[in-house]
Amino acid sequence: MTNAHTDLAAAWTASIPRHWCWMRNKELLFEAQTLSTDGSEELLSVSHLTGVGPRSEKNVTMTEAESLDGYRVVEQGDLVINTMWAWMGALGVARHAGIVSPAYGVYRPRPSAPFEPRFFDYLYRSTEYVIEMTRVSRGIWSSRLRIYPEVFLRMAVPVPPLEEQRAIADYLDREIARIDTLIEEQQRLIEMLRERREATIRSVLLSGLDAADKGPSGVELLGAIPRHWRMVPTRHLCTITTGSEDSGNATEDGDYPFYVRGREVLRIDHYSFDGEAVMTPGDGQGGTGKVFHYFKGKFEAHQRVYVFKDFAGVSGWYFYYFLSTFLRPVALAGSNTVTMESLRRPLLADFKIAVPPLDEQRRIMAYLDDQTAKVDTLIAEAERFIELARERRSALITAAVTGQIVMPGVA
């Protein structure tokens, strides 16, 4: 093996099979400098999630350059590295020909080099190789590290015989597709659980737990509710007010929770409210009608956050369940736009809550608390599963590209 040691080589050496060799990238690749003359080729982009692919297939939010003249030509099988995002793993081997921004590095396999593009796509994008690239990158800001071509070309890389490269790539294509399917299925499971959670809440909040005679609620979207329940506008159930603070007054470790317009709850040094309350922002990026909070104790609120307090005839927690479930769909159904720019106080004051007798409220809350807690645990466990599956994906790639998995049919 070569002695051009990097620390990665030192760490990997022990596991690399004897019949593999170490080479330096410059022996496998050279920097391709061809520029597009008219920019008519397919524009490719590089992502740390999906590697190299046509830009049109990706959800790219950055604006496109006006002219594509002077973009770099990429041939199928070229390695493309986003010089500035290599530390995030934004690199890969191109599956299609096309062009990329001049800010990217394009490396072409040398004609006689033992280079199976699919194998090296896995290797260069492996967690360990990306970390090694980060380590040799340079920059004053950690978020603006760059890997320079001469540095990348000097890095060492383990190289199996070509036939084994193909076998490993085939193996990984198959296995990684399986893991990715598994991850997608778990994500679907999480979506279904969220849907189930929502459906349980809606159904119980409109029907209760016991069989009861139902009559119209008076709100079209809600349909029928038990006849012994009442539909009451919020203004008759609580006091509606707003906070008076600005987000700028938050402190990192303040003594009291501070409800602002976003989903996140900040901290602050002082409080204006003390007691049971439900909060929802009147506008802001968090999404009107999407962010709701419940709190009991001393707290502070932003000047554009509505605070519902001093509940009478309804439990604050029950109120929270109902408001957070139905405010958005009901208010949207009555408006002629699909997004709510802001919530106005009259709309909130007139919003009707379906109120069961107090003891029934208590039973409903207990039931919903139990049900949602179970589903939430399950979602957390499913998320943990996805995390483990991603770890397995990464470890499997590393194991395969360092020769730790014996490929059937390869000597």
Partner 1 sequence: MSTLGSFIWSIADQLRGPYRPNQYGNVILPFTILRRLDCILEPDRETVRDLAAAYENPNRLRIEVKKATDRPFYNTSKYSFANLLKDADGLEDNLVDYIDRFSADVDVFEYFDFKKEIIALEKAGLLREIVKSFGAVDLHPNVVSNADMGDAFEYIIRKFNEAANETSGDHYTPRDAIRLLVDLLFAEKDADLTEAGIVRTLYDPTAGTGGMLALAEEHLLAQNPDARLSLYGQEYNPQSYAICKSDLLAKGHDASNIAFGNTLTSDAFKGRQFDFCMSNPPYGVDWKQYAKAVTKERDEAGPYGRFAPGLPATSDGQMLFLLHLAHKMRAPEDGGGRVGIVMNGSPLFNGAAESGPSNIRKWLLENDLVEAIVALPTNMFFNTGIATYIWILDNTKHLDRKGLVQLIDGTSFWTKLRKNLGSKGRELGDDDRAKVLRLYADFTDADPELSKVLRNDEFGYWTVIVERPLLDDDGKPVVDRKGKPKPDSKKRDTENVPFTYSGSTAGAAAKTEVIQAYFDIEVKPHVPDAWIDWAKVKTGYEIPFARHFYNYVPPRPLAEIDADLEKQVAKILDLLHEVEQ
Residues whose CB falls within 8 Å of the CB of residue 9, separated by 6 or more in sequence, listed in order: 22, 156
Q: How far is the CB of 369 from partner 1 (least distance, A)?
A: 14
Q: How far is the CB of 374 from partner 1 (least distance, A)?
A: 5
Between residues 338 and 406, which has the closer beta carbon with respect to partner 1?
406
Dihedral sign, CA of 270, 273, 278, 281? Answer: negative
Q: How far apart are CA 50 and CA 122, in angstroms?
A: 11
According to the binding rule CB under 8 A, does residue 178 interact with partner 1?
A: no
Helix/strand/coil for 35: strand
Task: Find out whether 51 and 93 touch, Cβ atoms under 8 Å.
Answer: yes
Stretch that binds partner 1, among 235-243, 303-311, 350-358, 381-389 (CB under 8 A): 381-389
User: Of 28-47, which residues contact partner 1 (CB under 8 A)?
Assistant: none
C-alpha closest to that of 229 among 333, 398, 357, 117: 357
Task: Find out whether 19 and 77 touch, Cβ atoms under 8 Å.
Answer: no
C-alpha closest to that of 258 among 286, 291, 309, 300: 300
Stretch that binds partner 1, among 73-81, 201-209, 313-321, 375-383 (CB under 8 A): 375-383
Other Cβ atoms within 10 Å of 68 Cβ, number: 16
Task: Find out whether 321 and 201 touch, Cβ atoms under 8 Å.
Answer: yes
Q: How far is the CB of 214 from partner 1 (least distance, A)?
A: 26
Stretch that binds partner 1, among 18-26, 65-73, 166-174, 211-219 (CB under 8 A): 18-26
Stretch that binds partner 1, among 222-230, 301-309, 325-333, 382-390 (CB under 8 A): 382-390
- Radius of gyration of the chain from Cα atoms? 29
According to the binding rule CB under 8 A, does residue 27 interact with partner 1?
A: yes
Exposed (0-12), middle (13-18) or buried (19+): which is 129, by Cβ within 10 Å?
buried
Q: How far is the CB of 48 from partner 1 (least distance, A)?
A: 18
According to the binding rule CB under 8 A, does residue 56 interact with partner 1?
A: no
Q: How far is the CB of 183 from partner 1 (least distance, A)?
A: 11
Q: How far is the CB of 325 from partner 1 (least distance, A)?
A: 19
User: Of 251-280, which residues contact partner 1 (CB under 8 A)?
Assistant: 251-253
Q: Figure out which of the listed residues 20, 24, 31, 362 binds partner 1, where binding follows CB under 8 A.
A: 24
Helix/strand/coil for 48: coil
| Token pair recorded at residue 43 | 């524009």
Q: Figure out which of the listed residues 38, 66, 150, 213 binds partner 1, where binding follows CB under 8 A.
A: 150
Q: Figure out which of the listed residues 84, 88, 232, 382 binds partner 1, where binding follows CB under 8 A.
A: 382
Q: How far apart are CA 186 and CA 180, in angstroms?
A: 10
Q: How far apart are CA 405 and CA 409, in angstroms?
A: 12
Q: Figure out which of the listed residues 219, 378, 407, 410 binds partner 1, where binding follows CB under 8 A.
A: 378
Q: How far apart are CA 383 and CA 33, in angstroms?
A: 44
Q: Figure out which of the listed residues 58, 118, 135, 202 binds partner 1, where binding follows CB under 8 A.
A: 135
According to the binding rule CB under 8 A, does residue 196 interact with partner 1?
A: yes
Q: Figure out which of the listed residues 20, 58, 118, 127 binds partner 1, where binding follows CB under 8 A.
A: 127
C-alpha closest to that of 150 among 51, 47, 29: 29
C-alpha closest to that of 394 among 136, 143, 129: 129
Stretch that binds partner 1, among 19-27, 68-76, 218-226, 227-235 (CB under 8 A): 19-27
According to the binding rule CB under 8 A, does residue 392 interact with partner 1?
A: yes
Beta pairing, strands 352-355 & 230-233: antiparallel
Between residues 364 and 397, which has the closer beta carbon with respect to partner 1?
397
According to the binding rule CB under 8 A, does residue 239 interact with partner 1?
A: no
Q: Figure out which of the listed residues 356, 398, 401, 403 binds partner 1, where binding follows CB under 8 A.
A: 398
Q: How far is the CB of 147 from partner 1 (least distance, A)?
A: 13
The Cα-based distances of 197 to 293, 333, 356, 370, 372 in angstroms read 18, 22, 21, 11, 6
According to the binding rule CB under 8 A, does residue 177 interact with partner 1?
A: no
β-bridge mates for residue 256, sequence order: 268
Which residues of this protein are in contact with partner 1, per CB under 8 A? 2-4, 7-8, 10-11, 23-24, 26-27, 127-128, 131, 135-136, 138-142, 150, 154, 189, 193, 196, 251-253, 371, 374-375, 377-378, 381-382, 384-385, 388-389, 391-392, 394-396, 398-399
